[in-house]
Chain A
Amino acid sequence: MSAADSTLGELPSKPAASTIDPHAQTVEQLLDGQSAWDKRLIHWSNWLNPILVKETRQALKSKQFVWTFGLLIVIVLAWSLLGLLSSIPNIYYASDGRGLLNGYLLILVVPAWLIIPQASFRSMASELDDGTFETLSLSMLRPRHIILGKLNVAALQLIIYMSVIAPCIALTYLLRGVTLETILFELIVVVITTLALSMIAIAFASFSRSRALQIVFSLVLILLQLITTFTLCSLLTAVAWQGVGFGSFEDNRASWIALGVSAFFVGLYMWVLFACSAALIGVSSANTSTPIRIPLMVAGWLIAMVGVAMAIWVDIEAAGFFLMLLGVHWAIAGAFIVGERGFISTRAKRTLPDGIFSRLFGSWFIPGPGTGYVFVVLSCLGGSIALMISPLMTSERLWDYWFAMVWFAIAINLYIAFYLGIGRLGAWLFFRRMKSGRMFTTAVFIVVLNALAILATCTLSLMSSNYSRMDYEWFCFPNPWWTLAEIIPYRYRNTNNLEELAVFCLGVVTLPIFLLNLFLSAKDIVIQRIETPDRVMAEHGKKNRAESTEQSEEIIDPLA
């Protein structure tokens, strides 16, 4: 203080702020950054997700990150030395780059596929546990921003780990045996898998509303990570040693197509998971159902489209395979959708379709189990029809195969309509009062129903043959898997007409169930849209917060 006094005494004209108030200076420095580099970083960070900025700052101070990072560098260096030393005598003509590359990739996979998703899970779970999520959701950040922020953090971590590996991988490229294409292929696999696992981890964390669920989900996540790591590590190894056109894929193009298609579907289901977790975290009266149905529908149609394309240009039997995928997609989605709560808040009513045209096509996006059921059944049917037509568009005319496929498609659709219809009715009867976990319970209910059907039909079949054989008989109709296995297109032999009978009986039983559900969904469809009040619209139109407060003061205080 005395120093400041003396300065003031000597130089009275000097603006004294910096000397008098050293703390203000620190605050300013902390905020603006000290070096030019700091300043630029802080300037650029304006456009980044706040969660990314925050967690990066935290990570730079956390021991765990420093340790992982340091350890990675040490291991990479050790592996490089080992690899180079062991190949020194013949480094100029042996193609040892492949082994080195494989090693680097397997090292990278440990932080990328095992550590990063775990970090994402814990980060999201602790946010929800500690109540920090609530303080966050008070701000302008919506659940989707928060999830996106966590994904950004995972991506940034991956970039940092990859940048450690990058110079080494460049080194392997200088050695023989490694092409740029191989490196690119491998890195794309690593990146997509990391992001997908992180998204799954974040989604799992947002699904676990209780301690017990959190433990279950974290175990499932670890299992999933281990399985993925082991299977994909063998892929990475195969590609590293044999190039992109490895194994059964004779040319590189097939591998790239396979990678592209998988990446595409992984991305699609990441979108679905993203929508689900954004809907599940926090409490909200918003319409959370429609934003999930849209990616589900897109995914369903894309499955069908890819199937059609494959059937026309690659192999006609792809149609049957994609039909199965489509069925699985809608069966899983539908098992949850039919457990939705039927209640539509005022806020959700503002988003309902209005006008004849949008009501005609948009009504099935209205939240609720009834509309959801019809949405799933119709979407599945639409995709199936597209897939059924596709074999007709080829030059081959495999009529037998086509007829088999039609039966197969009808059976899949009927089973979905049947089981989901029963599930929706069951949820309506038994779980009507359930407020949380209703969708999950309904899904479990449908699975249990299905399991009971399988158990009963198998037992009956065994009993009818004195426990010697298991034959498909008429009482096996409720077992979807068995019936479908009987009429799966490539096995289809018109030996007896039991399968057709099964499909016919199923149709007779399913029709009333479908109609009953349709009737029940009528109450959701007639709900009228509520117009958003003008003042709310006007407020939402405003971007600038300062502007909005000014405006509201004007409105509130007419005397001012």
Chain B
Amino acid sequence: MGHFQRRPTGAPCPQPSTLEGTYMVDAVHTSSAPMIELRRLHRFFGATKAVHDVSFEVYRGQVFGYIGPNGAGKTTSMRILSTLELPSYGDAFIDGFSAVNDPDLVRRRLGFMPDGFSVYPNMNCIEYLDFFARSYGMMGKDRIQAIKRTLGFTGLDKIAAKPITGLSKGMRQRLCLGRAMIHQPTVLVLDEPANGLDPRARIELRQMIQQLAAEGTTVLVSSHILTELAEMCDQVGIIERGKLLAVGSVEEIRRTMRGHLRVRVIPLNQQAEIAVWLSQREGVSELAQEGNAIHFSLQGGEAEQSQLLTSMIQSGFPILEFAAHTESLEDVFMKITTGAVQ
């Protein structure tokens, strides 16, 4: 395991000898525990650090948005949480039960909707749900009740007798969600559920997730688009290249970025001189020239904005247009992530 010796800066990386699992403490706590907890989770595939020291907590009834570009490590950490994979180091907990040590107890409480959908041939929706209800040990009336509830919730009752192979993407996602929630789990883990859905289906999906959360289900939902989740999430975590870069409510994350304005200046001429002049000012960063316009990031608020404009004009630059706006969620996301892939 020599390649793990290359330690990154920042958070201390566990040494190879401890990676073989001497950690993995039994941590069962009883009260005021988070429903979902990732604790120093690591997962390596050879030299790839798919998940690298990720920790966060989600409390009952919350919706946690897990956001990151493709290959960030979302699926891997969700699979570990769902007991489908083992961590290289660290642990994940559902309701205080370890996904590594007590997978059976975790599975009772958890519904997982993977990003891909695997079908059995020669089956219809109702048989599919019936099979999984049986697999969860439901018998007789219980099972029938559960299937009816699930069909009703997901709106699949109209096509209950349709073969799965003929379902549209949106319907498949509903069936997949139905499968994940047939045993009324207290925690739902949804891996990119909105991927490939049309706008209407997306909205319906969001409504379903919000309804589940309102009923007390804790939801962990991933996406590679922040704006897609921003409205419905109580908290978001932004992950890239296996590392959690930011956690908090959307507002909190925006606030850490506050104090930055995106400014666009269009001068009549003298672009080069203005750019040089700007680059020497304090608080100006990310200077870029795009055609006639000059874009940059300005630290501070409206006072700094007007001060900059005043001194620009006093310096005699011919300004045609000066526009500033706070950063959008997309800007925040772009700023937090670097766009690098592994």
- A26-B161, A30-B160, A140-B107 given; name 6 further pairs at CB < 8 Å: A23-B160, A30-B126, A62-B121, A131-B116, A347-B101, A548-B108
Task: Give the residue of A134, A345, A557 whose beta carbon is less than 8 angstroms from that of B84.
Answer: A134
Please give, as numbers and ranges, the residues of chain A lying within 8 Å of B151 by CB-CB distance. Answer: 27
In the assembled complex, the CB of B61 is this many whole angstroms from the nearest CB of chain A, namely 11
**Residues of A contacting B: mostly:** helix
CB 8 Å contact bits of A538-560 with B (1 = contact, 0 = none):
01100001001100100111100
Q: At the interface, yes or no: B77 with Cβ under 8 Å from chain A? A: no
CB 8 Å contact bits of B7-26 with A (1 = contact, 0 = none):
00000000000001100111
CB 8 Å contact bits of B87-123 with A (1 = contact, 0 = none):
0000000011100111111011110101010111111
Total of A-B residue pairs, C-beta within 8 Å = 155
What separation, in Å, do the CA atoms of A76 and B94 have in the docked complex? 57
Q: At the interface, yes or no: A433 with Cβ under 8 Å from chain B? A: yes
Q: Determine if A555 and B82 form an interchain contact, defined as CB atoms under 8 angstroms apart.
A: no
In the assembled complex, the CB of B285 is this many whole angstroms from the nearest CB of chain A, namely 45
Please give, as numbers and ranges, the residues of chain B lying within 8 Å of A30 by CB-CB distance. Answer: 126, 160-161
Residue of B nearest to A24 (CB): B157
What range describes how many residues of A lie at the interface?
A: 35 or more
Please give, as numbers and ranges, the residues of chain A lying within 8 Å of B119 by CB-CB distance. Answer: 130, 132
Q: Determine if B102 and A536 form an interchain contact, defined as CB atoms under 8 angstroms apart.
A: yes
**Which residues of B from 182 to 216 have beta carbons under 8 Å from A?**
183-184, 186
21 A-B pairs whose Cβ atoms sit less than 8 Å apart in the complex: A23-B157, A23-B160, A26-B160, A31-B126, A54-B120, A54-B123, A58-B121, A58-B123, A130-B119, A131-B114, A131-B118, A138-B84, A140-B107, A140-B136, A343-B20, A345-B100, A347-B102, A433-B1, A548-B108, A549-B184, A556-B33
Q: Determine if A139 and B107 form an interchain contact, defined as CB atoms under 8 angstroms apart.
A: yes
Task: Give the residue of B21, B120, B136 whose beta carbon is less than 8 angstroms from that of A139.
Answer: B136
What separation, in Å, do the CA atoms of A24 and B131 have in the docked complex? 19
Q: At the interface, yes or no: A3 with Cβ under 8 Å from chain B? A: no
Q: Determine if A50 and B126 form an interchain contact, defined as CB atoms under 8 angstroms apart.
A: no
Please give, as numbers and ranges, the residues of chain A lying within 8 Å of B131 by CB-CB distance. Answer: 50, 53-54
Q: At the interface, yes or no: A535 with Cβ under 8 Å from chain B? A: yes
**Which residues of A from 10 to 28 have beta carbons under 8 Å from B?**
23-24, 26-28
Q: Determine if A345 and B101 form an interchain contact, defined as CB atoms under 8 angstroms apart.
A: yes
Please give, as numbers and ranges, the residues of chain B lying within 8 Å of A132 by CB-CB distance. Answer: 118-120
Please give, as numbers and ranges, the residues of chain A lying within 8 Å of B42 by CB-CB distance. Answer: none
What separation, in Å, do the CA atoms of A28 and B126 have in the docked complex? 10
Please give, as numbers and ranges, the residues of chain A lying within 8 Å of B32 by CB-CB distance. Answer: 556, 558
Q: At the interface, yes or no: B309 with Cβ under 8 Å from chain A? A: no
Please give, as numbers and ranges, the residues of chain B lying within 8 Å of A539 by CB-CB distance. Answer: 97, 102, 105
Q: At the interface, yes or no: B28 with Cβ under 8 Å from chain A? A: yes
Please give, as numbers and ranges, the residues of chain A lying within 8 Å of B112 by CB-CB distance. Answer: 138
Central interface residue in B101, B127, B151, by most chain A CB within 10 Å: B101
Given contacts A26-B161, A31-B147, A62-B122, contact A139 B186 (CB under 8 A): no
Binds A, one of B137-145, B235-243, B253-261, B275-283: B137-145
Q: At the interface, yes or no: B30 with Cβ under 8 Å from chain A? A: yes
CB 8 Å contact bits of B145-158 with A (1 = contact, 0 = none):
00110010000011
Give the B-binding residues of A (Cβ under 8 A).
Answer: 23-24, 26-28, 30-32, 43, 46, 50, 53-54, 57-58, 61-62, 130-132, 134-141, 283-285, 343, 345-347, 350, 433, 530, 532-533, 535-536, 539-540, 545, 548-549, 552, 555-558
Central interface residue in A24, A27, A532, A552, by most chain B CB within 10 Å: A27
Please give, as numbers and ranges, the residues of chain A lying within 8 Å of B139 by CB-CB distance. Answer: 46
Q: Determine if B186 and A57 form an interchain contact, defined as CB atoms under 8 angstroms apart.
A: no
Given contacts A46-B139, A552-B95, contact A58 B82 (CB under 8 A): no
Given contacts A24-B157, A533-B28, contact A545 B126 (CB under 8 A): no
Q: At the interface, yes or no: B234 with Cβ under 8 Å from chain A? A: no
Residue of A nearest to B151 (CB): A27
CB 8 Å contact bits of B56-89 with A (1 = contact, 0 = none):
0000100000000000000000000011111000
What separation, in Å, do the CA atoms of A193 and B25 have in the docked complex? 47
Q: Determine if B109 and A552 form an interchain contact, defined as CB atoms under 8 angstroms apart.
A: yes
Please give, as numbers and ranges, the residues of chain A lying within 8 Å of B21 by CB-CB distance. Answer: 285, 343, 345-346
Q: At the interface, yes or no: B327 with Cβ under 8 Å from chain A? A: no
Task: Give the residue of A24, A46, A54 whose beta carbon is less than 8 angstroms from that of B140.
Answer: A46
Residue of A nearest to B97 (CB): A536
Please give, as numbers and ranges, the residues of chain B lying within 8 Å of A62 by CB-CB distance. Answer: 121-122
Task: Give the residue of B1, B118, B157 whose beta carbon is less than 8 angstroms from that of A27.
Answer: B157
Task: Give the residue of B116, B120, B148 whose beta carbon is less than 8 angstroms from that of A31.
Answer: B148
In the assembled complex, the CB of A435 is this many whole angstroms from the nearest CB of chain B, namely 10
In the assembled complex, the CB of A15 is this many whole angstroms from the nearest CB of chain B, namely 17
Q: At the interface, yes or no: B169 with Cβ under 8 Å from chain A? A: no
Task: Give the residue of B31, B126, B127, B148 whose beta carbon is less than 8 angstroms from that of A555.
Answer: B31
